[in-house]
């Protein structure tokens, strides 16, 4: 089957055509980084307007690149949340319009499911169940991925997401926006043992993540005037990596039968993160799977891929599918622990 995927939940507008047998026939992406840079973060109103302007062009370009027309597509998969709801609506309504015009089914995709299944697109050998570290701009979770639609949340962050910590650190150090790649570049020029920084919750019996204390320590290190930005960036990155690895190591005990250790989301593009998780997996005799860099950060191929698996499972949505600002992958965990955790 052939799926058209649409993504517009944050500051990337994207369209892609992907087949069930993992062929990415086209993927087009427009980042709004330049538009948001003056504000040091994503401005929802600017994001929504930019999606409106560029999305139709990206869809046309993707269809042309794949040399197919809408009538060749089997379903239209659009991100329906979670994210900035104005942007989500742009992609979802566009997907609904195309579904209505073509008579093809609409599939409303959870953006987090897109990230969670993205490693399968580049790694055909990856099989359920797997332990997933989902590290992105808005989330930091450990999920036991048992099958399509079956995501058991083992841990989440009690304050900031991992990507958010990178973004805030970049802002504090004046490294620019978006923060993750900027911190990684600065860290390459710095000494990772130069600044003593905390590793919140490392060694803790509870499963969760915390990054707020690390961010505050970065602020204090900066204000002390004793350290250069590159050394702070390198020390921050190492502390964040140590937190991610420690929490993931702990979760391995809660993921019996996991076939692989998998990482996804924007922070999975970080080379230090990938290297440390590779080492952890090898130590536990597990294969390590990470998507190529372009599949880590937001894109429409992962949305189309999730759509391909949903279509195969016979799961499609009505044209009344809602756009959701919040949409947990594991509703049970949300109910038990309450909002925020």
Annotation: binding site for substrate: 134-138, 167, 180, 184, 270
Of 103-132, which residues contact Fe ion (CB under 5 A)?
none
Residue 157 half-sphere exposure toward CB, CA atoms < 13 A: 23
Assign 3-class secondary structure to 192-203.
Answer: CCCCCCCCCCCC
Q: Which is nearer to Mg ion, 11 or 160 (CB)?
A: 11
- Shortest Å, Cβ 78 to Fe ion: 14
Within 8 A by CB and 6+ apart from 191, the residues are 230, 231, 234, 235
- Helical axes 85-102 vs 44-66, angle rounded to 10°: 30
Q: Which is nearer to Fe ion, 136 or 157 (CB)?
A: 136
Phi–psi pair at 317, nearest 5 degrees: -125, 160
Our measurement of the distance from residue 193's CA atom to the centroid of its chain's CA atoms, rounded to an integer in Å, reads 29
Q: Which is nearer to Fe ion, 298 or 330 (CB)?
A: 298
Q: Which is nearer to Fe ion, 136 or 237 (CB)?
A: 136
Within 8 A by CB and 6+ apart from 109, the residues are 5, 77, 78, 79, 80, 303, 306, 307, 310
Rounded Cα–Cα distance for residues 92 and 78 (Å): 5
Rounded Cα–Cα distance for residues 320 and 79 (Å): 14
Regarding 159 and contact with Mg ion (CB under 5 A), the answer is no
- Per partner kind, with CB cut-offs from 5 to 8 A, the member of ligand ATP, Fe ion, Mg ion, none near residue 138 is ligand ATP
Q: Which is nearer to ligand ATP, 17 or 269 (CB)?
A: 269
Number of residues that bind Fe ion (CB under 5 A): 2
Q: Which is nearer to Fe ion, 160 or 298 (CB)?
A: 298
- Shortest Å, Cβ 32 to ligand ATP: 11
- Shortest Å, Cβ 299 to Fe ion: 9
Of 5-64, which residues contact Mg ion (CB under 5 A)?
11-12
User: One symbol per residue from 129 to 158: x for binding Fe ion (CB under 5 A), - otherwise; what is it?
Assistant: -------x----------------------
Query: Looking up tokens 């040091």, which residue turns up?
Result: 40
Q: Are 34 and 106 in contact (CB under 8 A)?
A: no
Three-state SS for 283? helix
- Per partner kind, with CB cut-offs from 5 to 8 A, the member of Mg ion, Fe ion, ligand ATP, none near residue 166 is ligand ATP
User: Residues 14, 20, 23, 26: what is their CA dihedral angle, to the nearest 10 degrees?
Assistant: -30
Cα angle: 270, vertex 274, 278; to 5 degrees:
175
Q: Which residues are annotated as a binding site for Fe cation?
A: 111, 115, 298
Phi–psi pair at 68, nearest 5 degrees: -130, 165
- Shortest Å, Cβ 151 to Fe ion: 15
The one among 7, 113, 231, 298 contacting Fe ion by CB under 5 A: 298
Q: Which is nearer to Mg ion, 11 or 113 (CB)?
A: 11
- Shortest Å, Cβ 115 to Fe ion: 6
- Shortest Å, Cβ 36 to ligand ATP: 11
- Shortest Å, Cβ 302 to Fe ion: 9
Interface residues with ligand ATP (CB under 6 A)?
9-10, 83, 111, 115, 136-139, 163, 166-167, 178-181, 184, 265-267, 269-270, 297-298
Task: Sheet with 288-289: list strands edge to edge.
Answer: 150-155, 140-147, 130-135, 261-264, 288-289
Binding residues for Mg ion, per CB under 5 A? 11-12
Binding residues for Fe ion, per CB under 5 A? 136, 298
């Amino acid at each position: 089957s052939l799926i058209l995927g649409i993504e517009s939940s944050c500051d990337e507008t994207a369209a892609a055509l992907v087949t069930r047998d993992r062929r990415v026939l086209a993927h087009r992406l427009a980042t709004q980084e330049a538009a948001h840079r003056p504000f040091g973060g994503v401005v929802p109103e600017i994001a929504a307007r930019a999606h409106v302007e560029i999305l139709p062009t990206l869809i046309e370009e993707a269809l042309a690149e794949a040399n197919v027309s809408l009538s060749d597509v089997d379903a239209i998969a659009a991100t329906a949340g979670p994210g900035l709801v104005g942007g989500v609506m742009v992609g979802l309504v566009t997907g609904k319009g195309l579904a209505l015009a073509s008579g093809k089914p609409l599939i409303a995709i959870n953006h987090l499911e897109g990230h969670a299944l993205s490693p399968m697109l580049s790694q055909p050998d990856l099989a359920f169940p797997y332990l997933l570290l989902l590290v992105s701009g808005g989330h930091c979770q450990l999920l036991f991925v048992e099958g399509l639609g079956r995501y058991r949340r083992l841990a989440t962050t009690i304050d900031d997401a991992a990507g958010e910590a990178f973004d805030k650190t970049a802002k504090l150090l004046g490294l620019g926006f978006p923060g993750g790649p900027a911190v990684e570049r600065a860290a390459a020029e710095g000494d990772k043992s130069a600044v003593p920084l905390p590793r919140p919750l490392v060694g803790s019996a509870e499963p969760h993540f915390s990054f707020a204390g690390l961010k505050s320590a970065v602020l204090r290190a900066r204000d002390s005037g004793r350290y250069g930005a590159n050394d702070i960036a390198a020390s921050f990155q190492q502390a964040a990596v140590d937190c991610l690895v420690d929490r993931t190591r702990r979760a391995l005990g809660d993921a019996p039968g996991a076939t692989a250790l998998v990482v996804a989301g924007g922070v999975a593009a970080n080379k230090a993160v990938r290297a440390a998780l590779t080492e952890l997996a090898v130590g536990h005799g597990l294969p390590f799977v990470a998507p190529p860099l372009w599949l880590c950060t937001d894109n429409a191929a992962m949305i189309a891929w999730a759509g391909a698996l949903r279509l195969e499972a016979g799961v499609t949505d009505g044209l009344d599918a809602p756009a959701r600002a919040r949409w947990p992958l594991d509703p049970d965990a949300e109910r038990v622990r309450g909002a925020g955790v």
